[in-house]
Structure 1
Amino acid sequence: MILYDYILSPSCYKARLMAALTGIKLTLRAVDFHPGAEHRSPELLALNPAGSIPILVDGDLVLTESCAILVYIAGKAAPAWLGSSEPTIAASVQQWLSFSARLTASLGGARLHEMLHRSGDIDALRSSGIIALRELEETLFEQRLKGEAFVVGNSPTIADIACFPYVALAPDGGVSLDAYPSIRLWMRAIRSLDGFIEMPGIHRLHELKPDPHEMPAVTETTEA
């Protein structure tokens, strides 16, 4: 499989992370997204007329949407990541895949504005991102009450990978995650998965603060 990739793209990172977690070997083809705008070159427009990345090529198959790429990689290597075929679970996974597009548009848009000086209403982008984060926080809090660590059940799915990068990188767009303890615990759970790989700005368990609500250890003493 060939992945047309930009190291700083959260959407490309989704594909790299999914491949790493499922043991799939990718051949990375680096794309000069910024400043070279290579994604708009004739070669890449021939693969994806929308002029976006990532692009996954596997034989005659060309996939240009990050969620479709997640489905394909998981389906080939580790179908458990797709969730259950039970209608409630399957529909929930699909709903979170759709939700991830809102994160891309809002938090991702704010990040592009701040890092690459893309045009946009930064206040509106941040406001939309905060609304999405509150929805995710509420869901993850309810999941924790049920003893479940991920957005759909107690095992990670492609839904988690679809949402994770733009949430983790929200501070790049000026949106703090300090107010969302359930999200921070969820991110820690993802970063602790076997096979997890980093990208610039997303490190393995890089937050040095204690887990939210974690109580400090008590040292017992014995009087002489």
Structure 2
Amino acid sequence: MKLYTHPLSGNAYKSELLLSHLGADFEKITIDIFKGEHQTDEFKKLNPNCKIPVLVDGDFVMWESNALLFYIGRKFAPNPYFPEDPEQFGSVAQWVVFGKTTLDTPLALARFWTKYLPSDKVDAVALEQKRAEGLAALEVFNGCLAGREFLADSYTIADIACYPYVALAHEGEIDISKYPEVVKWVKRIESQPGFVSMG
């Protein structure tokens, strides 16, 4: 199994974190996105969308970070990260989708525009809008975490899907300290067996 990744990619890190929790053997292949290696003809054969991560498992190739979590979870089932019960799975799927559609986008864009783009290339109004959207998503997230340790009650791919860009929110100058349930959730994830830091 090969995972095409980059050390600064929160999306690629999701798969790496799950594979680490599972104790799975995989080869990590770094694609230097800053040098345009994701735009080469060779890489386009793996992912015509020219993004990381990409997972190659034998002859099977797939991409899209949260979809990879479902595949890896199913491949190594049974495991605690990928519930078989329909209701538990439904709850997990709900949070995986929320993570990608509502949480990741504003947090990731605020991070990228703040940390990796020259200030004269950033639309200040759009940046503040993304920060506001990120804070609104974190408000919902914080409320839903009240009274529970993890998103779907136990630690699953739902948490893994949502964790990276929440943990990196400060790089987009978004302060999560005002959301105590979120802060506690981040710390719980970082104390899980098999946890690896991004990078």
- Same-fold status (TM-score > 0.5): yes
Which ranges of structure 1 fall in alignment gaps of 5 or more residues? Answer: 201-224
1:28, 1:139 → 2: CA distance?
Answer: 34
- More helix by proportion, 1 or 2? 2
Counterpart in 2 of 1:26?
A: 26
1:17, 1:119 → 2: CA distance?
Answer: 31
Larger Rg over CA atoms: 1
2:77, 2:116 → 1: CA distance?
Answer: 35
Q: 2:137 aligns with which of 132, 138, 151?
A: 132
Normalised by the length of structure 1, the TM-score is 0.82
2:106, 2:90 → 1: CA distance?
Answer: 23
2:190, 2:65 → 1: CA distance?
Answer: 20
Normalised by the length of structure 2, the TM-score is 0.92
2:184, 2:77 → 1: CA distance?
Answer: 24
Q: Larger relative contact order (C-alpha < 8 A, sep ≥ 6)?
A: 2
For residues 37-73 of structure 1, give each alpha carbon's deviation from its aligned partner in whole angstroms, at most 9, with x where no partner exists.
2111111111111111000000111111111111122
Aligned residues: 192
Counterpart in 2 of 1:217?
A: none
1:123, 1:191 → 2: CA distance?
Answer: 29
1:75 aligns with 2:95: no
Question: What SS is found at the alignment partner of 1:57?
Answer: strand
Counterpart in 1 of 2:13?
A: 13
Quote the sequence identity (%): 37
2:197, 2:175 → 1: CA distance?
Answer: 20
Range 93-102 or range 72-81, more displaced: 72-81
1:32, 1:2 → 2: CA distance?
Answer: 16
Range 51-60 or range 70-79, more displaced: 70-79
1:169, 1:103 → 2: CA distance?
Answer: 12
Q: Indicate conservation of the 8 Å contact 1:23/1:77, yes or no.
A: no
Counterpart in 2 of 1:167?
A: 166
2:73, 2:90 → 1: CA distance?
Answer: 17
Task: Compute the RMSD of aligned alpha carbons.
Answer: 1.4
